[in-house]
């Protein structure tokens, strides 16, 4: 298999690959644009349940050093995440696995050991299991970056969602919730692949999966947002929005998540529904949602669009100082509202 370039060359290569991924005539086949730009949300910053200060502290703690696979630093990060989930009232299981890396350029062709952290709410054994919603973020980073945006920003959001939701769990929830800190994403979404296959083989009634992927970089300058060639003109060129990206069977999940996100004032939201599982637009597959697409599940990636806007992607400069914590706070609050709404409204079986 051809291995991808590294460093800054990788960023430029990925942008070029995304730009060339879809022939112009293919746009007519896409089941979009579903484009929503929102500045009229209902919740002001003083109404938010999530904490900007906690988000900052989580990112600060997680980005002291890089967190690559098999490292003591990654295990320390697992301990940090586990303790906070326990403190918030969640039960946490360590799902250990071994997998051959047949995709990612980091440690390509090696057999890697991973640990996914899977959190669930305590429940009475007599309760009938409900259909499930999974929300996750990858905890690992590449070896040469502290990974503030990629992906400490999303792990921080996951921790805040866990904290607030358990304090205010909806009594009328129609879905069970599973929170996952994925391993080995930087090695080719291998932790997501392991969990998607495990979920499918266990016969779990998974109605939707949400991957939180890079949530904290924002730039209000015109022209700061890059786009794949097929999407130029359909989406803004200013990098101040959050994107919701789903596959062909994710229509209700996209709309349900969008409805929660747009309740937050000052948070522009854009949505994209790709045909099939995004094979013709590879840039939309670069997180732990794509293995769930491949297993036939409805799944979303919530993202600031990664290397399409963030020049620090996979660089040593991906540090806490580069993040916009007001933006991350709004995204976290919107994600909390979206998850809570989905729990209450439920989701249909994806077809």
Which residues touch 227 (CB under 8 Å, ≥6 apart)?
Answer: 234, 235, 237, 308
**Predicted pLDDT of residue 139:** 98
Task: Dump pLDDT digits (tens) for 213-237.
Answer: 999 999 999 999 999 888 899 999 9
**Predicted pLDDT of residue 105:** 83
Average pLDDT estimate for 90-108: 93
Cite the DSSP H helix spans in the chain: 7-20, 52-62, 72-87, 153-167, 190-201, 251-261, 290-294, 325-345
Best CA proximity match to 137, nearest among 71, 216, 198: 216
Confidence of residue 9 (pLDDT cuts 50, 70, 90): low
**Predicted pLDDT of residue 182:** 98
Phi, psi of 331 (to 5 degrees): -65, -40
- Tokens encoding 38: 């929102």
Q: Is the dihedral of CA 244, 249, 252, 253 positive or negative?
A: negative
Best CA proximity match to 328, nearest among 214, 161, 225: 214
pLDDT of residue 18 exceeding 60 = no
pLDDT of residue 22 exceeding 50 = no
**Predicted pLDDT of residue 24:** 29
CB atoms within 10 A of CB 10: 17
Average pLDDT estimate for 156-170: 96
pLDDT of residue 158 exceeding 90 = yes
Distance CA 300, CA 313 (A): 21
**Predicted pLDDT of residue 229:** 86
Domain spans of the chain, in order of start: 7-345
Average pLDDT estimate for 303-329: 98
Whole-prediction pTM value?
0.89
pLDDT, the chain, mean:
89
Q: Contact 116/183 with Cβ under 8 angstroms?
A: yes
3-class SS letters over 239-308: ECCEEEEECCCCHHHHHHHHHHHCCECCCCEEEEECCCCCCCCHHHHCCCCHHHHHCCCCEEEEECCHHH
Burial (Cβ within 10 Å: 0-12, 13-18, ≥19) of residue 46: exposed
Average pLDDT estimate for 118-140: 92
- Percent of the chain scoring above 70 in pLDDT: 87
Which residues touch 236 (CB under 8 Å, ≥6 apart)?
Answer: 37, 225, 268, 270
pLDDT of residue 146 exceeding 90 = yes
**Predicted pLDDT of residue 124:** 77
Task: Dump pLDDT digits (tens) for 277-292.
Answer: 998 888 899 999 999 9
**Predicted pLDDT of residue 15:** 52
Q: Contact 116/95 with Cβ under 8 angstroms?
A: yes
pLDDT of residue 28 exceeding 90 = no
pLDDT of residue 29 exceeding 90 = no
Topology at the third CATH level for domain 7-345:
Aminopeptidase (3.40.630)
């Amino acid at each position: 298999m051809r291995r991808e370039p590294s460093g800054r060359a990788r960023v430029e290569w990925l942008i070029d690959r995304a730009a060339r991924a879809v022939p112009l005539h293919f746009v007519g086949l896409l089941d979009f644009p579903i484009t929503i730009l929102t500045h009229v949300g209902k919740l002001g910053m003083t109404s938010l349940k999530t904490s900007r200060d906690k988000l900052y502290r989580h990112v600060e703690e997680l980005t002291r050093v890089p967190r690559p696979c098999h490292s003591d630093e990654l295990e320390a990060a697992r301990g940090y995440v586990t303790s906070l989930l326990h403190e918030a009232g969640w039960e946490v299981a360590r799902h250990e696995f071994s997998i051959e890396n047949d995709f990612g350029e980091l440690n390509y062709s090696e057999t890697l050991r991973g640990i996914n952290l899977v959190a669930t709410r305590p429940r009475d054994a007599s309760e009938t299991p409900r259909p499930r919603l999974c929300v996750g973020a990858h905890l690992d980073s590449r070896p040469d970056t502290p990974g503030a945006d990629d992906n400490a920003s999303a792990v921080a959001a996951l921790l805040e969602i866990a904290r607030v939701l358990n304090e205010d769990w909806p009594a009328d929830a129609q879905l069970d919730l599973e929170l996952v800190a994925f391993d080995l994403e930087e090695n080719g979404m291998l932790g997501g692949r392991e969990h998607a296959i495990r979920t499918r083989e266990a016969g779990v009634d998974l109605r939707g999966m949400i991957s939180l992927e890079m949530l904290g970089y924002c730039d209000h300058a015109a022209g700061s947002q890059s786009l794949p060639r097929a999407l130029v003109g359909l989406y803004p060129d200013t990098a101040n929005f959050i994107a919701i990206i789903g596959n062909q069977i994710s229509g209700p999940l996209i709309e349900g998540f969008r409805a929660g996100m747009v309740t937050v004032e000052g948070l522009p939201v854009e949505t994209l529904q790709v045909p099939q599982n995004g094979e013709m637009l590879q840039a939309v597959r670069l997180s732990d949602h794509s293995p769930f697409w491949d297993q036939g599940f409805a799944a979303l990636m919530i993202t600031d669009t990664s290397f399409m806007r963030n020049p620090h992607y996979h660089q040593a400069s991906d540090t806490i100082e580069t993040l916009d914590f007001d933006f991350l706070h709004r995204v976290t609050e919107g994600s909390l509202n979206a998850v809570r709404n989905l729990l209450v409204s439920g989701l249909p079986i994806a077809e």
